[in-house]
Structure 1
Amino acid sequence: MSSEVDHSTIEEMFGGRSVACPCCQNTLTPAMLLQLWQEMQALQADQSAFARLPAGSGARLIDPHAHMIARTTDDYEAMAKAGIVAVIEPAFWLGQARTNVGSFIDYFSTITGFERFRAGQFGIRHYCAIGLNPKEANNRALADAVLDVLPRYLAKEGVVALGEIGFDEQTAEEERALRAQIELAKEFDLPIMIHTPHRDKKQGTSRTMDVLESCGFDPARCVIDHNNEETLEEVLARGYWCAFTIYPSTKMGNERLAAIVEKHGPQRIIVDSACDWGVSDPLAVAKSARLMAARGIPAEVIAQVCYSNALAVYGLNGEMCEAHWTNPSPIDQRTLYGGNSVLRGQAPRIDPAQPDVIV
């Protein structure tokens, strides 16, 4: 049947005959049949567009902002199946304020240690960013204690940036912590991931960039995250990487992102999910890629905003590179971390060892 089907075609085909729904046996009207046909055509177009993405059955994707400590192993498995090869977990708050520096130490140790192991056991390469979040920077005594311990984590394996840092309520204490951490990023030669505030976002984003520039930080080494249509033009004009969080009901939606990429192109634009302990979607990057493909955005553009741009900036310190997932170590879920495994009664996944390459 041709893809050009309308109501009159359905009427002509079925005339006065009725068609029963195979599920409920109720009568399907010509209008219902037309709607089903149109939905089937849309699904086929979406599948065809998704197949045009690079890397065979699906694109290689990176989610460069994902709070995986709050997610389940099901999420890791689904992300790997959707083509996500790597995630970056930025340090942030846990839903309530921490009361002592030991809580931060344990948290930083988890995202640089066990979480890195757990992700790898489900086929995802895990990196992280370390920093004092702006929401907890207003407790000066605690903030100072955290700033004192940050250097011990900034040089750890798998740390690709300092972040996420920036403003929340845009207080003097937040700016003080921001400036101190910008200096640490310069000392440790790390890129910076910026959290922009939920309230007065445009003003807070501009103020953040003013502070970065007053500290002499190179915008090409800094990702400004959680952007929207109000902030993106200034962020791009001032030379920063411009990241968009695809977060249900807030921040940025898939359709809006696709429109932004269509208008502005892929240069210095990055897509992430910021999935966390709230209502959020760990497949947001994959779904954005699929939607952009369905809208006819070229595969190379999708690959740039959903993969290579993130790799370019977060790979600057050498801790993140493609070989980590193009030539990975085989997964063996019998492996232990601190005496513990990811197994909870399931049969362990044991990938065969890769044959040695003879040159």
Structure 2
Amino acid sequence: MSWFDAELHPVALRRGDLEDLAFFGVAGALAAAGDAGVPATGAALRRAWDALAPGALRRLRRAGIAGYAALGLHPRRIPWRGLEALLAELPDYLGRRHVLAVGAIGLEEGGPREEALFVRQLELARELRRPVVVHTPWRDKERVTRRALALLREHELDPARVLVQRADARTVRMIRACGYAAGLSLSAGAGDALDEAVRLVASLGPDGIALGSGAGEGAGDLLALPRAAGRLAKAGLSPAVIRRVCGANARALLGLAPEPAAASARTGRPSSR
């Protein structure tokens, strides 16, 4: 089987890292704009978007991995100057090849400024009919996630096109109860995130769960996704369940074909939008 990583941070990864991913069966990945090492200025954010798409996506494809991006203004990197110009330019960036979604957007601490930016990007995603990748913080996760879910419901985005990243045992049920996909990061938080993800998939089933390595950011485990597939198999879960949480659910959310056919890997065109 081949895997699709629902949370990869490829900008910081070396060529050898990407080749290792491909060797161990990672055939595709979603890379969302984040906050790592990016000062909150308009110029720096534009450079970060360029570094991701087309920059890192090209390197992924040269390594044999079909890479796709989500671009947006992260709540931890809201510029005090030039925000309106960035929002006006964002649709053009979203029109770039292999850029399929808006994100990562969401809330970090909450409050009027973060919420206003989140809502404006949700409205843009709805207007452009794009999937949304939603960031949730490590601190005060339950409260902030609950508020983000309320804003998502208020703006009536298609639940099947929303991925709420960095869910955990405290929030995965509320995310799925709203009909959204919960992204479990295999390298994040305290304790063994990989074991926790295996436990959650085993207890809750595969519906609305997408696993992401988190590799390329902090102490992210480069091979977390193949390791998770192996542990899920050892836990007695079926190949169909493993296939869904290790790729098929994320691909469906993005409107991609169930398996990364050679033609789509070359062109980067999804089967449907």
Moved over 3 A (4+): 248-252, 320-330
Paired amino acid for 2:3: L
Q: Number of matched residues?
A: 266
Shift of 1:73: 1.1
Q: 1:249 to 1:169 in 2, by over 3 A?
A: closer
Query: Could you say which residue in structure 1 is the equivalent of 2:12?
Result: 70
TM-score (norm 2): 0.91
* Residues 1:143 and 2:83 are matched in the alignment: yes
CA–CA separation in structure 1 for the residues paired with 2:66 and 2:215: 16
Paired amino acid for 1:286: P
Shift of 1:88: 1.1
- The percent identity for this pair of structures is 28
Contact 2:39 2:45 in 1 (8 A): no
1:215-294 superposed matches below 5 A? 215-248=155-188, 250=190, 253-294=193-234
CA–CA separation in structure 2 for the residues paired with 1:321 and 1:300: 16
Query: Could you say which residue in structure 2 is the equivalent of 1:81?
Result: 23
Shift of 1:95: 2.3
CA–CA separation in structure 2 for the residues paired with 1:304 and 1:269: 8
Q: 1:107 to 1:96 in 2, by over 3 A?
A: closer
Shift of 1:268: 1.0
Contact 1:170 1:204 in 2 (8 A): yes
Q: 1:194 to 1:329 in 2, by over 3 A?
A: closer
| Alignment deviations for residues 213-262 of structure 1 (CA, whole Å, 9 cap, x no partner) | 11121222111110111111111111111110011553861111111111
Query: Could you say which residue in structure 2 is the equivalent of 1:195?
Result: 135
Q: Name which structure has the greater RCO, CA cutoff 8 Å, separation 6+.
A: 2
| Alignment deviations for residues 25-49 of structure 1 (CA, whole Å, 9 cap, x no partner) | xxxxxxxxxxxxxxxxxxxxxxxxx
Contact 2:75 2:105 in 1 (8 A): yes
CA–CA separation in structure 2 for the residues paired with 1:311 and 1:94: 25
Report the RMSD for the aligned CA atoms in angstroms.
1.9
Paired amino acid for 1:247: S
Paired amino acid for 1:133: H
CA–CA separation in structure 2 for the residues paired with 1:92 and 1:271: 18
Q: Secondary structure at the match of 1:134?
A: coil
* Residues 1:93 and 2:35 are matched in the alignment: yes
CA–CA separation in structure 2 for the residues paired with 1:187 and 1:282: 35
Contact 1:85 1:325 in 2 (8 A): no
1:1-359 superposed matches below 5 A? 59-99=1-41, 101-137=42-78, 139-248=79-188, 250=190, 253-315=193-255, 320-321=256-257, 325-327=261-263
Which residues of structure 2 form unaligned runs of 5+? 267-273
Contact 1:248 1:281 in 2 (8 A): no
